[in-house]
Amino acid sequence: MSVAANTQPDQNDPAVRAAQEERLRAVWSPPRGLFLRWTDTNNNAVGIWYTLTAFGMLLFAGVLALIMRAQLAVPENDLVSASTFNQLFTLHGSMMMFLFAVPMFEAVSVLILPQLLGARDLPFPRLSAFGYWSFLIGGVFVAGSIFFDAAPDGGWFMYPPLSTEPSTAGIGADIWMLGLSFIEVSSIAAAVELIVGVLKCRPPGMRLNLMPLYAWYILVVAVMILFAFPPLIAGDILFEMERLLDWPFFDAKRGGDPLLWQHLFWIFGHPEVYIIFLPSIAIFAMVIPTFAQRHLLGYPWIVLAAVGTGFLSFGLWVHHMFATGMPNISLGFFSAASEAVAIPTAVQIFVFIATIWAGRVVWSTPMLYGAGSLAIFVIGGLTGVMVAAAPFDWQAHDTYFVVAHLHYVLIGGSVLPLFAGLYYYWPLVTAKKLSDRLGRIAFWMMFVGFNLGFFPMHISGLMGMPRRVYTYSEALGVGTLNLLSTLGAFLFAAGVAVVVVDLCLSPRRPRVPRNPWNAGTLEWLEFSQQENWGVRSVPLIESRYPLWDQPGFLRQVDEGRYFLPDAEEGYRELMITSVLDGRPLQVARIGGPTPIPMLAAIALGGVFILTTYHLYWSALASGLAALAVILWWLWTGTSLIPEKPEKHAGLGVVLPLYASGPASSGWWAMFITMIGDATAFAGLIFGYFFFWTVHADFPPEPLPGQAGPGAYWPMVALALILAGWVLTIAARETNARGRVGLARAALAVAAAATGTGGLAGLAGPWRAGLDPALHVYPAIVWVLVIWTAVHAAFGVVMQLFALARSLVGRMTPVYDGDVRNITVYGHFLALSALITFLVIGFFPRLA
C-alpha cells in the first residue's frame, strides 16, 4: 500500500457521483434473460437462490415428518408400511441435517456476510455458485429418490453392517452415500469461501476485535466444517468401497469392524450439532443489540465462548457410543467433556440476558422468536447433560427420550432462529417488512405445537417407546402421548404455513425506510438489494457499531467518500486487507456472470450419480469432463495479469491490482482447502491404527501373500514424490529470481517425478499380491496408496498447468500466483506421502 497525492475526483459534485454509480451499475448488474440470470455469481443472486432452495428442503422434510407422525398417532396403525416408514425417517433426518441445517447457514452467510463486512462480494463468487449448484443437484438426487421407492432406509447415520450388505440395503444406501458425499463437497467449498471472506475481505480499519459477532461465529463454524466433514468423507470412501468392491472395512469376518464407521461418523456428527447451533447464536448476536439499542456486553467473553464451544465439540463424539461397550476411563472422560461444553454455551446465553437487562428492549417479532428458541434450546441442553451421564444414557439410548432431546436442540438451535433471522433481515432483502401480527400468531403456534409435540416424547421414551419403529403395541401404554405428539407436530406445521403465507403476501406491502430497526452494523448500509454492488463505497471502520458511533458515516458511504467508489476500468473489484488489523493490501478483481460453475457442478455430480448405478465408464467420462471444465475455470478466471500494476483505491491510497503468496486470497484458499484434505487423510490413517488396536495380529500372520508391500517400493515412491516437491519449490524460487527457463524445466521434471512416484506407490501392494477383498489389512493399505496416488496425479495436473501458464506468458516472475499456490498443495502432498509410505512400509513391523 502506498499513499499518493490527492487525485481523487470531487465527491461533492453530484455529476461525478452519478457517473460513478452508473459505472458501478453497469459492472455489477445481473445479466438479462431468465437463463442468463442463473449464471450470475454475485452473492445476492447466489445467496437468495441458495436460501430459497434450503428453505424448500426444510418444507419437504417437514412433510415427511408429518407422515411419520400420522403413522404413529395410534397403536398398530397401517397408514404406511414398515419399508416406507424406514425411508421416511431416514430421508427426514438426512434432509434436516445435510440438506437444510448446514446449507441454510451457508446460504444466509453468502447472502449477508459481504454486507456485514462492508464488502462488495465474497472473494470467490464462482466458488459460491459452484457450491450452490452442487447442493441443488445432490439434494434433488437424494430427496427425489423417495418418489421411486429407492430412498435410503438405514437411518440418517447409515450404520454398517446392515447398510453395507447388498442383501439388506438396496440402491438407497448408495444414493445416500454418494449423493451426500457430493453435498459435503459443496459444504467444504462454502466453508473455504466464508473463511477467506472473513479473514481477507474486511473493510479497512476492521481489526479482529472490531468484527461483527456474526463474522466471528461464521469463522468458527466454517473452521469446524473443515475438521468435521472430512472424517465423514473418509468414512464414505471406506463405506462405498465395501459396497461396490467388497473391501471388508466393516465386515468382522474378514478383520473389519463396524465401530470404525461410528467413530468416523460421530467425529462429524456431534460437532455438526454446534455447526448448526452457533450460526443461530450469531443471529441472536445481531438481533439482541439492535432491539436492546445498545452494544452487546461481554464481547471478548462471547468470542472466547464461541471458540471454546467449537473446540470442545470435537471431544464429545463417543457419548453417542456409550452403549457399544467402552472402558471406564473412556466413559468418564467423554461424559465429563460432554457436560463441560455446557459452560461456554451458558456464557453466550448469559451475555444475551445481560445485554437485554442493561438495554431498553423493544419486544419485536424477531426478539420473540429469539427468546422462544433460546428457551427450547436450554431445555434440550439440560436433557443433553442427562444423556451425557453414561448410566442414564444406557437406559435412554435408542428411546424416544433421545428423539425429544435431539429435536429440542435442533429446533431450538436451528429452525426457530431461522425465523427470527427471517423477520429481522427480510427488509434488507426486499425493502418490505413481514407482518408482525402473522409473525406472532405463527410463533405461538410453533412454540406451543413444538412443546406439545416433543415434550411428551421424554415420557414415552422413559416408558420404553423405542425410536425408529413404525408402529407399537397398545399394551405399551404410550398411545395418548403419541397422539399428543402428532397433534403438536401438525400445530407446529400450521405455524410454518402461516409464515409461508406471510412471505407470499409480502410483495403487496409498502416499502419500508432504510434500516427500519435502527441497527448499528454495516449490513444496513445496503438498501433492499436494489443495487448489486452492495455498499456504495467500502468504508473505513472505527467501531463495532459504526452506524451508531461514527458521525455522518451513512452519508459519507453513500457519497462515495471512502474506498472503491468507482469502477472506471469496468471490473468487479474487492478490497483485500490484512488478516489481523484490516490494513489495505490489494484491489482484487473477481469474475462476473458465467455458466462455468454450473457446468462444473453438473459434470462432477455426474461422477457421483453415475457411480451410484455402477456406470463406471460413464462416471469416468464425467470426471474427465469435470476436470476439463475446472481447468477452463482456472485458466480464464484466476490470476489474470492486469493492464496496470496499481490503482487509486480512494482516500489517497494506491493499491496493487495483483498479489501472490500469503497476501493473496487465492493462497489462503489453497491452504484452507488442504487443511480439510489433510483432515480427511487423517481419518484414513485413524482407520489404519484403529484396526491395529482391535487386532492382536495386524497384519495377520497366517495370511499367505498378504504380509505387506515391503519397504522398497514405498521408499521409492516417497523419494520420487519428495523430489517432485523439492523441484516445485525450486521452480517457485527460480521463477521469482527471473530465471524463467530453469523454472519451467524444474516444473517439467517435478511433474515427471510426482507422477512416477504415484505409480511406484501403487506398485508396492500390486507386486506383493495384496488382495483387498481377502482381509481388511490389504484393503486399508490399498486405500492409503490410492489416496496418495490420486493426489500425486492432481499434483501433476497442477504442475503442468503452471508450466502451461508460464509458456503462454500468464505466469511471470512478478505474476507468480499459480506456482506459489501449487507449492502449498505440494507441501501437503509431501506430508501425506511421508506418512502413508512410512506407515505401510515400516509399521507395525518391517514386512
Interval 363-372 mean pLDDT: 93
Q: Which amino acid is at 812?
A: T
Taking a C-beta distance cutoff of 8 angstroms, is the pair 101, 167 a contact? no
Q: What are phi and psi of 364, to 5 degrees?
A: -85, 175
Sequence-ordered list of residues with C-beta below 8 angstroms from that of 27, at least 6 positions apart, any chain:
533, 567, 570, 571, 572, 592
DSSP count for the chain of H helices, then E strands: 27, 5
Cell 495483483 found at: 658
Please tell me whether residue 568 adopts helix, strand or coil conformation: coil
Please tell me whether residue 3 adopts helix, strand or coil conformation: strand
Interval 77-81 mean pLDDT: 94
Q: DSSP letters of 72-133?
A: TSSTT--SS-HHHHHHHHHHHHHIIIIIIIHHHHHHHHHHHHHHHTT-SS-S-HHHHHHHHH
What domains sit in the chain, N to C, each tagged with a CATH number? 44-276+563-659 (1.20.210.10), 689-846 (1.20.120.80)
Give the whole-angstrom CA distance, residue 36 versus residue 593: 8
**pLDDT tops 90 at residue 709:** no
Burial class (CB in 10 A: 0-12, 13-18, 19+), 98: buried
Confidence of residue 708 (pLDDT cuts 50, 70, 90): confident
Interval 632-661 mean pLDDT: 89
Give the whole-angstrom CA distance, residue 173 versus residue 481: 33
Number of Cβ within 10 Å of residue 769's Cβ equals 12
The DSSP symbol for 550 reads S
Tens of pLDDT, residue by residue over 400-443, are 999 999 999 999 888 999 999 999 999 998 889 999 999 999 99
Give the whole-angstrom CA distance, residue 626 versus residue 386: 48
Interval 579-605 mean pLDDT: 93
Give the whole-angstrom CA distance, residue 466 versus residue 548: 54
3-state SS, one letter per residue, for 285-332? HHHHHHHHCCCCCCHHHHHHHHHHHHHHHHHCHHHHHHHHCCCHHHHH
Of the chain, the percentage scoring pLDDT greater than 90 comes to 77
Give the whole-angstrom CA distance, residue 658 versus residue 661: 11
Among 727, 786, 785, residue whose Cα is nearest residue 754: 727
Interval 590-603 mean pLDDT: 92
Number of Cβ within 10 Å of residue 448's Cβ equals 14
Among 689, 683, 759, 679, residue whose Cα is nearest residue 717: 759
Q: Which amino acid is at 340?
A: A
Return the pLDDT at 290: 95
H or E segment and range at residue 750: helix 740-767
Interval 766-775 mean pLDDT: 91
Sequence-ordered list of residues with C-beta below 8 angstroms from that of 250, at least 6 positions apart, any chain:
160, 161, 164, 238, 239, 242, 256, 257, 258, 260, 261
Tens of pLDDT, residue by residue over 171-225, are 999 999 999 888 988 899 999 999 999 999 999 999 999 999 999 999 999 999 9
Give the whole-angstrom CA distance, residue 384 versus residue 312: 15
Among 782, 783, 795, 770, residue whose Cα is nearest residue 720: 795
Taking a C-beta distance cutoff of 8 angstroms, is the pair 822, 666 a contact? no
Q: What are phi and psi of 162, to 5 degrees?
A: -65, -35
Whether the link from the prior residue into 161 is cis, omega within 30° of 0, is: yes
Taking a C-beta distance cutoff of 8 angstroms, is the pair 204, 522 a contact? no
Sequence-ordered list of residues with C-beta below 8 angstroms from that of 146, at least 6 positions apart, any chain:
64, 87, 88, 91
Return the pLDDT at 36: 65
Tens of pLDDT, residue by residue over 506-555, are 999 999 988 999 999 999 987 644 667 778 899 999 999 999 999 999 99
Confidence of residue 846 (pLDDT cuts 50, 70, 90): very low
Sequence-ordered list of residues with C-beta below 8 angstroms from that of 29, at least 6 positions apart, any chain:
532
**pLDDT tops 70 at residue 707:** no
Average pLDDT score, the chain = 92
Give the whole-angstrom CA distance, residue 352 versus residue 344: 13
Which residues, in sequence order, are bridge partners of residue 584? Answer: 577
Copy the grid coordinates of residue 22: 452508473
Copy the grid coordinates of residue 245: 468392491
| Angle of CA points 704, 706, 710, to nearest 5° | 125
End-to-end CA distance of the chain, in Å? Answer: 57
- Write the CA distances from 178 to 65, 139, 141, 297, 613, integer angstroms: 24, 11, 10, 45, 10
**pLDDT tops 60 at residue 3:** no
H or E segment and range at residue 505: helix 479-505
The DSSP symbol for 707 reads S
Sequence-ordered list of residues with C-beta below 8 angstroms from that of 502, at least 6 positions apart, any chain:
434, 435, 438, 439, 442
Tens of pLDDT, residue by residue over 342-355, are 899 999 999 999 99
Give the whole-angstrom CA distance, residue 211 versus residue 202: 8
Return the pLDDT at 739: 96
**Top-confidence residue, 497 or 30:** 497
Give the whole-angstrom CA distance, residue 791 versus residue 421: 41
- Cα 552 to chain centroid distance, Å, stands at 38
Task: Determine if residue 298 is left, alpha or beta; phi over 0 gives left, psi from -120 to 50 gives alpha, anything else beta.
Answer: left
Confidence of residue 128 (pLDDT cuts 50, 70, 90): very high
- Write the CA distances from 150 to 91, 144, 612, integer angstroms: 11, 9, 12
Tens of pLDDT, residue by residue over 271-287, are 999 999 999 899 999 99
**pLDDT tops 70 at residue 162:** yes
Return the pLDDT at 847: 42
| pTM exceeds 0.75, yes or no | yes
Tens of pLDDT, residue by residue over 560-578, are 999 999 988 889 999 999 9
Burial class (CB in 10 A: 0-12, 13-18, 19+), 157: middle
Among 453, 436, 446, residue whose Cα is nearest residue 488: 453
Confidence of residue 170 (pLDDT cuts 50, 70, 90): confident
**pLDDT tops 60 at residue 6:** no
Confidence of residue 8 (pLDDT cuts 50, 70, 90): low
Number of Cβ within 10 Å of residue 777's Cβ equals 26
Burial class (CB in 10 A: 0-12, 13-18, 19+), 309: buried
Sequence-ordered list of residues with C-beta below 8 angstroms from that of 316, at least 6 positions apart, any chain:
270, 334, 337, 338, 341
Sign of CA dihedral 734, 738, 739, 744: positive
